[in-house]
Amino acid sequence: MAISTSQDDDVVSEINITPLVDVMLVLLIVFIVTAPLLTNTVKVNLPKAAPTQTTDQNKAVVISVNPEGEIFLDKDKVALENFEQEIQTRKNANSHLALNLNADETVPYGTVAKLLASIERVGVEKLSVITVPS
C-alpha cells in the first residue's frame, strides 16, 4: 500500500472546461442540423390555374456576342462603334429598358468590357448577364 504525503483534501481551484466544450459542440451540431428545417415551416398547397398573358409589354433586349466577336441586338447585327448609339436610341424610346447579355465564353474580355462600359454610359439600370448553370 502506498501512502502519499500530500493532502488529498485540497480543493481544486481550476475549472475543467472539457465538459463545457463537449456540450457546446453538441449544441452547435444540433443548430446546424435544424437550421435548414426552419426555413420552410409552413407547407402550402398552391392552387392550379391556367397561365395568363402578362400585361408588361417591356421585354428585355437581347445582346448576343458570337465567338467571332460579332454583336447582335435582337438578331440585328450591330458594329461595336455603333453599339452605344443604338442602345441610346432604344433607351430614349423606352426609359425602362432591360438588357440580357449573352456572350460566348471564347469572346475576348475586352469586347465584353467595352459593351458593359457603353451600357453604363447610356444609363441602363437593368442588365442581366446570362450564363449556363454548372
Question: Over 80: is that where the pLDDT of 36 sits?
Answer: no
User: What pLDDT score was predicted for residue 55?
Assistant: 52
Residue burial 81-106, b: 16+ Cβ < 10 Å; e: rest: eebbebbbebbeeeeebebbbebeee
Q: How confident is the model at residue 115 (pLDDT cuts 50, 70, 90)?
A: very high
Q: How confident is the model at residue 50 (pLDDT cuts 50, 70, 90)?
A: confident
15-27 pLDDT, tens digit each: 888 889 999 999 9
67-92 pLDDT, tens digit each: 888 898 888 899 989 999 999 999 99
Domain 61-129, CATH among 3.30.420.270, 3.40.190.10, 3.40.50.1860, 3.30.465.10 = 3.30.420.270
The kind and range of the H/E element at 62 are: strand 61-65
The pTM of the full predicted model, rounded to 2 decimals, is 0.56
User: What pLDDT score was predicted for residue 34?
Assistant: 83
Q: How confident is the model at residue 94 (pLDDT cuts 50, 70, 90)?
A: confident
Min mean pLDDT across 20-24, 41-45, 117-121 is at 41-45
Q: Where are the domains of the chain?
A: 61-129
Mean pLDDT of the chain: 81
| Counts for the chain of helices (H) and strands (E), in that order | 3, 5
**From CA 38, how far away is CA 48, in angstroms rounded?**
26
User: What pLDDT score was predicted for residue 129?
Assistant: 85
